[in-house]
Amino acid sequence: MSDVSEQQRRELGAFLRARRERTPPEDVGMPGSPRRRTPGLRREELAMLAGISPTWYTFLEQGRDIRPSHQVLDAVARALGLGDAERTHLFAIAGHAAADSRQGRPLDPEVARIVDRLDPDPAYVTGETFDLLAWNSAAADLFRGALTDHEHPNLVRWVFLSPDAREVLPDWIDVAQSLLARVRTRAGRQLARASLAELEAELRSASPEADQWWPRYDIGTEGAGIKRVRLVDGEEQRLAFTSFEVAEHPGQTMTVYRRL
């Protein structure tokens, strides 16, 4: 286990508190009551479910300088019913995952060439802070100005701050929440990166939705699915997409769309 900074301990506490408050007692076999003042589980209840001391668990949420073992974190994860992505995030911010020294590498020119060759299917590559590093003309058409009107285009800023995004994405709320969950996950694991902290501050000050959703501490990872988009002529189209990490370049993600 690596040394954990005070900032990391606060992040761990924020994540545990957010998850505890979103866990209904009924979901873990405990009686609920309309007179409960605490949303979700109480600290004492979660500690009991995890089989650890209430004081010890309270110290975790308070960001005290303690070193939770793998076994303790596993017990807390099981008590909260965390999914695989949430569990991975818990262990990472608790210092049980080493930082990857390959972070921050520049985009491989060959990757950019692959993106171009995928045209007419939209494709793009994002970096650690979701800056768009490469894209093809089909992606530029899809995102309407996001990739041509800005010197340093950024996927997150476009989704949350551009009016075009709500026109392009009929399911804007679902897309925005999913994207913010990925930002929140990455920011929680890379607290020392000022660029992610700046992105958080900008989003929360400029977007009421981002400010409201950020404390929820949703966890998101790259994946695949179906997305609805609205073309310039108003026609709606369904696209299948797949996102995956660029080999040897952690933090860089290629996303490819296919028209259905």
Give the pLDDT confidence of 102-138 residue by residue, as tens digits: 666 788 899 999 999 999 999 999 998 999 999 999 9
The number of folded domains in the chain is 2
Query: 34: domain CATH number?
Result: 1.10.260.40
Q: Which of 93, 118, 139 is the last residue of a domain?
A: 93
122 and 184, same domain (yes or no): yes
DSSP state of 238: E
61 and 116, same domain (yes or no): no
Tokens 């701050």 locate to 161
77 and 132, same domain (yes or no): no
248 and 165, same domain (yes or no): yes
**What's residue 26's pLDDT?**
84
Fill in the amino acid letter for 77.
Answer: A
Tokens 């993600």 locate to 253
113 and 178, same domain (yes or no): yes
What's the number of CA atoms in the CB half-sphere (13 Å) around residue 32?
Answer: 11
163 and 232, same domain (yes or no): yes
Structural domain of 229: 109-259
133 and 207, same domain (yes or no): yes
Residue 98 within any structural domain of the chain: no
- Judged on CB neighbours under 10 Å (0-12, 13-18, 19+), 112 is middle
Q: For residues 174-183, b (16+ Cβ closer than 10 Å) or e, as one string?
A: ebbebbbbbb
Residue 12 within any structural domain of the chain: yes
Q: Are 249 and 102 in contact (CB under 8 A)?
A: yes
Q: Which of 69, 93, 117 is the last residue of a domain?
A: 93
Per-residue pLDDT of the chain (260 residues), as tens digits, is 556 789 999 999 999 999 999 998 888 777 766 676 777 899 999 999 999 999 999 999 999 998 888 888 988 999 999 998 999 999 999 988 655 556 667 888 999 999 999 999 999 999 989 999 999 999 988 887 676 656 678 999 999 999 999 999 999 999 999 999 999 999 998 887 888 999 999 999 999 999 999 999 999 988 899 999 998 889 999 999 999 999 888 789 999 999 99
Give start and end residues of each alpha helix (H) in the chain.
Answer: 6-21, 43-50, 54-62, 70-80, 84-93, 109-117, 137-142, 155-161, 163-168, 172-189, 194-206, 208-213
**What's residue 122's pLDDT?**
95
Strand order across the 236-245 sheet: 132-135, 123-126, 253-259, 236-245, 224-230
Residue 249 within any structural domain of the chain: yes
**What's residue 100's pLDDT?**
56
245 and 128, same domain (yes or no): yes
Q: Which of 93, 121, 156 is the last residue of a domain?
A: 93
89 and 163, same domain (yes or no): no
Q: Are 136 and 113 in contact (CB under 8 A)?
A: no
Residue 102 within any structural domain of the chain: no
**What's residue 228's pLDDT?**
96
Fill in the amino acid letter for 201.
Answer: A
- DSSP letters, 146-210, are TTTS-SS-BHHHHHHH-HHHHHH-TTHHHHHHHHHHHHHHHHHH-TT-HHHHHHHHHHHHH-HHH
